[in-house]
Amino acid sequence: MAAARCPWLVLTTMLLVLLACSGAGAAEKLTHLSFYFHEVPSGAPNATIATVAGLNVTGSTFGDLQVFDNALREGADPSSTLIGRARGLVVSASLDNSGRVSIIEFVFSNYGKYSGSTLASQGHLTLPILSERSIVGGTGVLRFARGYFTTQVISSTSDLGVALFDLYLTTKL
What would the DSSP string read from start to end of the chain? -HHHHHHHHHHHHHHHHHHHHHTTT--EEEEEEEEEEEE--TTSTT-SEEEEE----TT--TT-EEEEEEEEESSSSTTSPEEEEEEEEEE---TTS--EEEEEEEEESSSGGGTT-EEEEEEEE-TTS-EEEEEEEEEGGGTT-EEEEEEEEEEE-SS-EEEEEEEEEEEE-
Residue 132 lies in a domain: yes
Residue 47 lies in a domain: yes
Indicate which CATH number applies to the domain containing 61. 2.40.480.10
Residue 18 lies in a domain: no
Range of the domain at 164: 27-172
Residue 90 lies in a domain: yes
Residue 22 lies in a domain: no
17 — pLDDT class (breaks 50, 70, 90) = low
Residue 155 lies in a domain: yes
Indicate the pTM of the whole model. 0.81
Q: How many domains does the chain have?
A: 1
Q: What is the pLDDT of residues 150-171, one digit of tens each?
A: 999 999 999 999 999 999 999 9
Residue 58 lies in a domain: yes
Confirm if 74 and 35 have CB atoms less than 8 A apart. Answer: yes
